[in-house]
Amino acid sequence: MTFKPHLASSGLDLVIKRVNPKVMPQTDSFFTNLNFDNSFTRDLPADPEERNFCRQVPGACYSRVQPVLPSNPKLVSVSKDLADSLEIDEPTLNSQRFVEVFSGKALLEDMDPFAMCYGGHQFGHWAGQLGDGRAINLGEIVTTEGQRWALQLKGAGPTPYSRRADGFAVLRSSVREYLLSEAMHYLEVPTTRALSLVTTGDEVVRDMFYDGNPKAELGAIVCRVAPTFLRFGNYQIFAARGEIEILKQITDYTLKHFFPHLGEPSKEAYVALFNEVCERTSEMIIHWMRVGFVHGVMNTDNMSILGQTIDYGPYGWLEDYDPNWTPNTTDATGRRYRFGHQGQIALWNLVQLANAWVPLIGEPEPLQKIIEDYPAKYQARWNEMMLSKLGLSQPQGDVDAELFQQLLNLLSSVETDMTLFFRGLAQLDIKTHLDSEEANKGIPKELKNSYYKEEELTAEYQQKLHLWLKDYNSRIQEEKLTQAERQTRMNRVNPKYVLRNYLAQLAIDKADKGDNSLVNELLEVLKNPYDEQPDHDEHAQKRPEWARNRPGCSMLSCSS
């Protein structure tokens, strides 16, 4: 197989020279159901510069750009469920035309490609202009049911916001983003989604760990889908630049298209908008904590205004329960974005968004009140989530707080697989176990598989677990729950199947060799993460020892 290399640009003044994608009509048998309504480019100010080169873009919400032509695009996988939601029919889905359009090799006549301008705080520091550096929005469609979807290609080439990067993406990161976007949807975690994954036929040079060892990898493109890709940084950039009229324009646009129930633009509507963004963000983070997801790079430019998980980069899955774990090598020293700190970081990011919106409201006090109320609301949501993970529904304040804390102490005191522990706990008939002669003679068999190191299961640990099970059983008996009822409740919120880091890597290893079977198999399994699916038990096993320190399975970088 021969590839044409794509190399990162060596300077900010590079002007990209290329042949534009061909434009195809939607009047033949393909894509006839797609109704484009490109409100973002229609309603908001554009960059007047038509050339595509890296630069500061003042006074504009976006720049029009076109994808780079891939040399030999091939389909790796497609989410048929999402295609159905977008009203893309089966013949179109199976056509070469589909591959061409969602690789950037061709455009439909009603598409209006662009890259958004935004800023953001990165690792707690204001970074200025960032923008869509390797994402090109194709346009927005509205379905017959009135749902608005933005279509975006990640890895389709440079934009004015690419800085010193090349705008492309490699297969390994694209597999991870594609699979997890869909997996999170089926886990019922608020998320952007992914329609398709294609390889481009071109090589992309990447230094995976920024250690001076670049290598050529296979390029790929994911088509990302969401109602909108607006993020906190879309508002911060205009506040920081003092472009308050544009800040008002983009905020009013947000109200009109995504929060119309809050009414016409006004001070009251802006305050209500901020409050709802806080509510949605809190809900999203609680879901992350429920399933053990670690985003890895919660910069403000990676925070969706809709409270959806966005920008799947150096994320990781909490296999061993360690609240201090971060999957991001860039974050390894400070651990700012560690699992147990995600709630606090969300609040910090919301404060930055509030600061950006103060000029529209005229005073900080209404926003400050919402910020002050946030921790208590978040804690209440977290308590509800923990109750649900234990199959309980009747809160008991301090009693619950002690029960939760003792459980988390147990999980973190020895290397424990969080996902397997909760599934095993659901299977364990706790009253029967405690009444048996085996109660004080070791770890219940239902929980044994969740531990990584048997030598850590000391007599002291076993006694603490036994005492916690007794306290937990008291709560179960108070709620008069049968074993079947508790197991059903727990299995609704504690998944059996998650996209474990090593599973994603195994799929990547195969895909690198041209075998896409595991990508598609995992996609199907992850559609039903709460079901037993006994034929796929091999995908519900804890991390194997070979994956403990392997790149891609333990730590990742912000490199694509």
- What are the tokens at 347? 């609040």
CB 267 within 8 A of CB 318: no
Question: What is d(CA 304, CA 226) in angstroms, rounded to the nearest whole number?
Answer: 10
CB 64 within 8 A of CB 146: no
CB 383 within 8 A of CB 405: no
Question: What is d(CA 531, CA 497) in angstroms, rounded to the nearest whole number?
Answer: 8
Cα 271-293-279 angle, rounded to 5 deg? 15
Hey, how many other C-beta atoms are within 10 angstroms of the C-beta on 558? 16
- What are the tokens at 427? 């299977």
Residue 78 backbone dihedrals phi, psi, to 5 degrees: -145, 140
Question: What is d(CA 277, CA 363) in angstroms, rounded to the nearest whole number?
Answer: 19
Please tell me the number of Cα atoms within 13 Å of 228 on its side-chain side: 23
Catalytic annotation present for 301: yes
Question: What is d(CA 227, CA 308) in angstroms, rounded to the nearest whole number?
Answer: 10
Terminal Cα distance for the chain, rounded = 22
Angle at which helices 233-241 and 244-258 pack, to 10 degrees? 160
- Nearest Cα residue to 524 out of 76, 75, 77: 77
Q: How far is CA 107 from the centre of its chain?
A: 27
Amino acid at 475: R
| 111: Cβ contacts below 8 Å, ≥ 6 apart | 36, 38, 138, 139
The DSSP 8-state label assigned to residue 541 in this structure reads P
Q: How far is CA 559 from the centre of its chain?
A: 16
Secondary structure (H, E, C), 4-60: EEECCCCCCCCECCCCCCEEECCCCCCCCCCCECCHHHHHCCECCCCCCECCCCCCC
E runs forming strands in 417-492: none
Amino acid at 507: A
Question: What is d(CA 385, CA 342) in angstroms, rounded to the nearest whole number?
Answer: 15
Residue 198 backbone dihedrals phi, psi, to 5 degrees: -130, 150
Dihedral angle, C-alpha 427, 431, 432, 433, nearest 10 °? 70
Catalytic residue among 47, 252, 301, 331: 301
- What are the tokens at 369? 């009140």
- Which residues belong to the active site? 301
